[in-house]
Amino acid sequence: MRRKKYQGPIYGPFYFNIYKPVGKTSFDVIRALQRNLPRAIGKIGHFGTLDPFAEGVLLIGIGQAPRLNQWTQDLPKEYVATGIFGTRSPTGDLTVEEDQIYRDESFSNEMISKDAVTAALNEFVGEYRQVPHQYSATKYKGKPLYEWARDGVEIVKDPVDREIYEIELLEFDGRECKFRVKVSSGTYIRVLFEDLAKKLGTVGVLSALVRTEVGHHKIESSVKEESWPDHFENSDEFLASSAKGVDSLVHFKELDLDETQAKKYINGVKVPFDVEDGDYWAVNNNMILGLAEAKNGILTSSVNFQPSASRKIDLTIRNSLD
C-alpha cells in the first residue's frame, strides 16, 4: 500500500527567538522543535549555544537560515549574571556535585565593599583578554575542552581578545553579586566572574545566568516553552506568530536587483553594482535572494538562497512530501 503523503507548508529560511529554560541544553531545544514541527521544516540549527544552567535568548534557524551563522557571531550579547564570592567549582557554576564545590570558610560579607566591586567591574570595560574555560565548547584538536576536562586532561588555551561594552552592578549583599554586562561574541561570563573575584582577592562562581539580548533580539520577545508546538499537526500558530524573516536576523541594507541582475546573482555570476563596500541583502520583487558582498563595485554572493526567501512565512502554500 502506498504511503500517504503529508501535506505540509513550504518553508524557506526563517528563524525563531526562543527562550531557553534552565536545565535544557541548546540541542534539547532543537530536538524539541524537530520533533514537533512538520518534516518540511528542513534543517534546524542554533546561532550560538547557551550553557544548560543558563536561560534566555537562543536564536534558532530553519531551512537555509543557519548558513548565516558567521554573521550573527558579530552581534553583541547581553547577560544578567549572579555570582557568589568565596566559592569555587571546576566548572565555574554550581552544576557539579556538592563535594566538588570549595567554600572559603575565612570569607565574610564584610571583606568586600560595594564600591570595590563597582570599581573592579569598571576596570573590565574595553578590550579584555580572556582564557577560555576548561569546561567550555572551545575546541582543542577538534574536541571540546569540556570533553578533555571530563577525561581528566586539563587544557589551558592561550588568551583571546574579547571586548566588554558595558557593565553595571545591580545588586550586592557582601557575598552575592548580580550584574549586567554586554560583551562581544565568545565571551565566557563564568570566566569573567572568576576574573572579577581574583581582582577582589577571592574566588567566585556563577549561580545564575540569563542572556537578555543577542544584538537587537531581546528576551521580552523570546518564545517560552509553554508556547512551543507539542505536535506538528498543531504547529501552525507557532510558525505564524514566531517565524521571522532572515532579513531581520542581522541588519544589513538592501540592494534591489533588476531581473537581469537577479538572474546573474542566482547563477553565481558577479554583478557590477555602484555601491559602497560591505554586506547587503540582495532583493528582487520583494524576495530575498541572499546575502551579498560588495567590493570595488562588484557584487558577489556570500549566501545564495534557493529558492529565494520570503519575508513572512505563508502557511496557505502547500506542497506534498513523502
What residues act catalytically? Answer: 51
How does 263-278 read in b/e, with b if 16+ C-beta sit within 10 Å?
Answer: ebbbeeeebebeeeee
Best CA proximity match to 187, nearest among 166, 201, 218: 166
Phi then psi for residue 187, to 5 deg, are -80, 130
Task: Look at the block and give the residue holding cell 589551558.
Answer: 156
Cell numbers for 297, please give them. Answer: 563595485
Q: Are 58 and 43 in contact (CB under 8 A)?
A: no
Integer-rounded Cα Rg, in Å, for the chain is 23
What separation in angstroms does the CA of 24 have from each of 29, 231, 233?
A: 7, 19, 24
Q: Are 156 and 166 in contact (CB under 8 A)?
A: no
Q: Are 74 and 185 in contact (CB under 8 A)?
A: yes
Best CA proximity match to 82, nearest among 221, 218, 211, 176: 176
Alpha-carbon distance 46 to 15, whole Å? 9
Give the number of other CB atoms < 10 A from CB of residue 188: 23
The amino acid present at 246, given as its one-letter code, is: V
Best CA proximity match to 214, nearest among 31, 77, 73, 10: 77
Cell numbers for 207, please give them. Answer: 549561580
Alpha-carbon distance 167 to 79, whole Å? 10
